């Protein structure tokens, strides 16, 4: 199981880390501190994303026509 904790309070993190050590829990600390320019760049990349190929779902109108087409029902 994996548990991710995010906090800006160093005191709380120190207490959690001390408890985890007593319980023999493996701790991995990752710094995910993004500055403002990194966040703006990431936001722009997400907003400007364009797919290179067509969708894998096919033609929605064709699928709907096929689903709604007249078909023989077993109880008619």
Tens place of pLDDT per residue across the chain (76 aa): 888 887 878 898 889 989 999 999 888 877 766 677 888 888 888 888 877 776 677 788 888 888 888 777 777 6
Measured distance CA(16)–CA(36) in Å, rounded: 28
Measured distance CA(64)–CA(68) in Å, rounded: 6
pLDDT in tens, 6-23: 787 889 888 998 999 999
Evaluated on CA atoms 10, 13, 24, 26, the torsion sign reads negative
CA dihedral 66, 68, 72, 76 (to 10 degrees): 170
Taking the model in full, what pTM does it have?
A: 0.38
Closest Cα to residue 5, out of 38, 23, 27, 21? 27
Closest Cα to residue 32, out of 66, 4, 62, 72? 4
Q: What was the pLDDT predicted at 47?
A: 87
């Amino acid at each position: 199981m994996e548990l991710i904790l995010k906090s800006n309070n160093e005191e709380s993190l120190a207490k959690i880390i001390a408890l985890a050590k007593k319980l023999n829990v493996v701790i991995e600390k990752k710094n995910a501190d993004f500055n403002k320019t990194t966040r703006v760049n990431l936001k722009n990349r997400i907003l400007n994303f364009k797919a290179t190929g067509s969708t894998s779902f096919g033609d929605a109108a064709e699928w709907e026509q096929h689903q709604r087409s007249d078909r023989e029902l077993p109880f008619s």
